[in-house]
Structure 1
Amino acid sequence: MTISQTLKKMISKFFMRMLRSPYKCDSSSHDYALSQKKINELESMLEREVKKREEIEANFDSEVKLREDMESRLLGKMNDLMKQFTGR
């Protein structure tokens, strides 16, 4: 399970618990509209954070691949040099 899937699952559980809360307010009340607005803000903030995290993971993966490519090229050059010195 990816990080974004885990976060979405945790958030949905949190909101479901809030909806089942005995302290729920009437949907026509001003408090309900404010809480709904806050929930929407939190969801959008979470989505932005998930996107940032996915970008960081993608950048990390590309850096790892780049480093592995550089290491393999370096090993190839080292092998070539060893062959030149040993005459094989």
Structure 2
Amino acid sequence: MRAELLIRERRQVAPDAFIDAKVWRVPLPVRASDHAFKYSLALVAGDVCVFRYDNEAGKGDHLHRGSVELPYRFVSIEKLMNDFIGDVREWLMQRTP
């Protein structure tokens, strides 16, 4: 089985910000993860990554907030997407005067 692209989306969420979301189903777990998904979900504003959820090989599931890297507990794709969209909404609300 080859990697199967499940989600590929890039969408403008503000005049200077966009989300970039990619999720694949993989035949074997990414090193340091224990599930069959590889993902990268990012919010970028003004050419700066505000935050990103990903599971790069060797690091497992984690979240970048600016320059800080935090562990992330992966439960399911649905929860991952809900957590990401919730963070995007919160960030957008904080920018609204």
Q: Greater share of strand residues, 1 or 2?
A: 2
Larger radius of gyration: 1
Q: Greater share of helix residues, 1 or 2?
A: 1
TM-score where L is the length of structure 1: 0.33
TM-score where L is the length of structure 2: 0.31
Q: Which of the pair has the greater relative contact order for Cα pairs under 8 Å at 6+ separation?
A: 1
